[in-house]
Amino acid sequence: MSDGLPDGVERRPFDGRERLATRGSPVYGEPTDGDWRAWDASRSKLGAMLSRGLDTGLTGGEPVLYLGAAAGTTVSHVADFAGPTYAVEFAPRPTRDLLDAAAPRSNLFPLLKDAREPASYAHVVEPVDAIVQDVATRGQAEVALRNRRFLADDGRLLLAVKARSEDVVADPGDVFERVLEDLRSGYEVLATERLTPTHEDHLAVVATPRTE
């Protein structure tokens, strides 16, 4: 791991500027340079976390559970450098695009499931070293708490809290505090950072399971 990035993720020049990149088949029209493809941090909360230098704990090669995979923009990059990558998405339409992203990636496993109901995929998902969560729903802390069962004791939760999904009218700062308070019942929060301006009203959270 160099520059705080997992093995398999590099900063490389695209279109005259340095950007994150992974090796893999392109998914969303991103620029490519040989086997490398640019990771657009403006379309990826995890990409934004890595671009900002947050210590995510990701090293490369580890098993990952991704909650809220959508059409595969970010989770395809994760699968490029991680080990087995379980991609949970609730909506059928983006899942069809997710299947296309998974086709050239033998380690990417799309699951048409509800992240609020981890029992529905517990028979498929092995223990993981990281959970990446990017779900647009109320109760985002509860989703993280319910999926804690899959996370290794020294693993990392990488959560992008969407304030407007919790409460469309409340001040985002107040929303973030409430979510963090709920999250601390099962996790130790290691770091937080707002993702403005690339992702308005989003808070990046790095946490690890509480073991006491």
pLDDT tens digit sequence for 143-168: 999 999 999 999 999 999 999 999 99
For residues 154 and 131, the answer to whether their CB atoms sit within 8 Å is no
Q: How confident is the model at residue 4 (pLDDT cuts 50, 70, 90)?
A: confident
For residue 8, pLDDT over 60 is answered with yes
Residue 74 marked in a binding site: yes
Domain for residue 105, yes or no? Answer: yes
196 is in an annotated binding site: no
Alpha-carbon distances, residue 110 vs 93, 143, 195 (angstroms):
13, 18, 27
The answer as to whether 4 is a domain residue is no
Domain that holds residue 203: 40-209
Predicted confidence (pLDDT) at residue 212 exceeds the cutoff of 80: no
pLDDT band at 64 (very low <50, low <70, confident <90, very high): very high
- Looking at residues 18-34, what average pLDDT do you find? 97
Look over the chain and give the mean of its residue pLDDT values, rounded to a whole number: 96
| 11 is a domain residue | no
Q: How far apart are CA 54 and CA 43, in angstroms?
A: 17
41: pLDDT strictly greater than 50: yes
Does residue 205 form part of some domain? yes
> What value does the mean pLDDT take over residues 196-210?
96
Q: Per the annotation, does 89 bind a ligand?
A: yes
Residue 126 lies in a domain: yes
Residues 45-53 have a mean pLDDT of 96
Was 73 annotated as part of a binding site? Answer: yes
Please check if 85 is assigned to a binding site. Answer: no
In this predicted structure, the answer to whether residue 74 has a pLDDT above a threshold of 70 is: yes
pLDDT tops 90 at residue 2: no
Asked if residue 14 is part of any domain, the answer here is: no
At 15, list the tokens.
């279109």
The answer on whether 160 is annotated among ligand-binding residues is: no
CATH of the domain at 123: 3.40.50.150
Is residue 137 part of an annotated ligand binding site? Answer: yes
Do the annotations mark residue 192 as ligand-binding? no
What value does the CA radius of gyration of the chain take, rounded to a whole number of Å? Answer: 16
* Residue 96 pLDDT exceeds 60: yes
* Number of domains the chain is built from: 1
- Tell me the C-alpha distance between 50 and 56, whole Å: 7
pTM of the entire predicted model: 0.96
Q: Is position 3 within any domain?
A: no
In a domain, 6, yes or no: no
What is the reported pLDDT for 181?
A: 97
Residue with tokens 């704990």: 57
Residue 59 has pLDDT above 60, yes or no: yes
Q: How confident is the model at residue 1 (pLDDT cuts 50, 70, 90)?
A: very low
